[in-house]
Amino acid sequence: MPRKPKKGYFVRGHFVAEGSELDQELKRELKGTDVSKTDLKRESAELQALGEALLKLRAGAFNELPITEKLREAIVEAKRITNFEGKRRQMQFIGKQMRLQEPETLDAIRTALAEQDRPSAEATLALHEAELWRDRLIVDDDALGGWIETHPATDAQQLRALVRQARKDLKAGPPGEAPRQGRAYREIFQIVRAQLAAHGGDDLAAEAAEQAREQDA
């Protein structure tokens, strides 16, 4: 009887029998290739997101990045596009350009984006500080005097009048309900926030003002 042919396949002209050591070695290599593809897809998605984030980077920081001219032009063009499909295709192109950047350039992009996010955290802290001062000024006469002494640019007469009105508003609410917070309460916060922001720099003041407007809305 003729011998039954072995099952297998050819690789570069050589027959590889299924179950052989060579077959198992090739399958291990193939499995390693699959993992590598997964890693590449993950990296590609990360670079795509990084490229999209570049659209929100401040102009000054963006202009200083050592990116290629093609990527720079692609980012500028993407900001102009309003059509959904056109925007999607442009972002895909940006993703491809991101994969051509040097590792040092990608690190510079990440650093620039991280530095841009940092003022937001500082502005949030400034808003919380303003809220604490507002509450202290309303309930504590010593805090009011101390604030006016350490912040001489404050209109003391206006602030005292607002504090008196805020205290009246707090007592005017029906028993058992949350204290009333009227116009004076909000204006004290605006005054305190403006004074604190003035000491923290123009950028921080603008950031704090923007977050405050969002809260008021």
Residues 96-115 have pLDDT tens digits of 899 888 889 999 999 999 98
Question: Is the predicted pLDDT of residue 203 greater than 60, yes or no?
Answer: no
User: Token digits for 84?
Assistant: 């959904």
User: Token digits for 204?
Assistant: 């921080």
Confidence band of 214 (pLDDT split at 50, 70, 90): very low
**What pLDDT, on a 0 to 100 scale, did the predictor assign at position 204?**
43
**What pLDDT, on a 0 to 100 scale, did the predictor assign at position 112?**
92
Q: Indicate if 91 and 144 belong to the same structural domain.
A: no
CATH of the domain at 39: 1.10.60.30
Please indicate, yes or no, if residue 109 is contained in any of the structural domains: no
Q: Indicate if 53 and 25 belong to the same structural domain.
A: yes
Neighbours of 211 (CB within 10 A): 16
Q: Indicate if 67 and 140 belong to the same structural domain.
A: no
User: Are 119 and 204 contacting, i.e. CB atoms less than 8 angstroms apart?
Assistant: yes
Neighbours of 134 (CB within 10 A): 21
Write the pLDDT tens digit of every residue in 32-54: 555 456 766 788 888 889 999 99
Q: Indicate if 167 and 80 belong to the same structural domain.
A: no
Q: Which residues contact 116 (CB under 8 A, 6 or more apart)?
A: 56, 57, 58, 61
Query: What residue numbers bound the domain in which 123 lies?
Result: 118-216
Please indicate, yes or no, if residue 107 is contained in any of the structural domains: no
User: Are 137 and 162 contacting, i.e. CB atoms less than 8 angstroms apart?
Assistant: no
Q: Indicate if 138 and 189 belong to the same structural domain.
A: yes
Global confidence as pTM: 0.46
User: Token digits for 176?
Assistant: 């058992």
Number of domains in the chain: 2
Q: Indicate if 95 and 130 belong to the same structural domain.
A: no
Confidence band of 198 (pLDDT split at 50, 70, 90): confident
Q: Indicate if 122 and 204 belong to the same structural domain.
A: yes
Write the pLDDT tens digit of every residue in 61-88: 999 999 999 999 999 999 999 999 999 9
Distance CA(75)–CA(89), nearest Å, equals: 12
Which of 66, 101, 136 is the last residue before a domain boundary?
A: 101
Which of 40, 74, 101 is the last residue before a domain boundary?
A: 101
Q: Indicate if 96 and 179 belong to the same structural domain.
A: no
Q: Indicate if 96 and 122 belong to the same structural domain.
A: no
The DSSP letter of residue 176 is T
Alpha helices in 81-201 (DSSP H): 84-98, 103-139, 141-150, 156-172, 183-200
Distance CA(56)–CA(112), nearest Å, equals: 11
Question: Is the predicted pLDDT of residue 1 greater than 70, yes or no?
Answer: no
Q: Is the dihedral of CA 28, 34, 40, 43 positive or negative?
A: negative
